[in-house]
Amino acid sequence: MGDRWSLLLVAVLGQRPYRYNELHRSIEGISQRMLTRTLRGLEVDGLVRREVFPTVPPSVEYSLTPLGRTLLEPVSALADWAVRHEAEINASRSRYER
């Protein structure tokens, strides 16, 4: 749960349910393999629900479970913190990279 992709997925799925390809397009830089792996991990942890619809071809939708929804407030607070301290973080990174 502590990796960047998990937090991004929780934030995105907090908006509404998404299909796999919608998620892949919504999260810049994530590979299909990493998206699948992260979704599976969140599902195992009980944070994401995977619903398969009986259509042809089958369609799958991902959404947050009630437990996953409890993460929205802390994830939002973390995102707010990152925005407030972006300049300091970037300055620190610049000093480190020299």
pLDDT digits (tens, 9 = 90+) for 36-71: 999 999 999 999 999 999 999 889 999 999 999 999
Q: Would you state the pLDDT for residue 1? A: 65
Q: Which domains does the chain have, with CATH numbers?
A: 4-97 (1.10.10.10)
pTM of the model: 0.82
Is 80 exceeded by the pLDDT of residue 13? Answer: yes
pLDDT band at 25 (very low <50, low <70, confident <90, very high): very high
For all residues of the chain together, what is the average pLDDT? Answer: 92
Nearest-CA neighbor of 59 among 68, 51, 67?
A: 51
Q: 36: which residues sit within 8 A by CB, 6+ positions away?
A: none
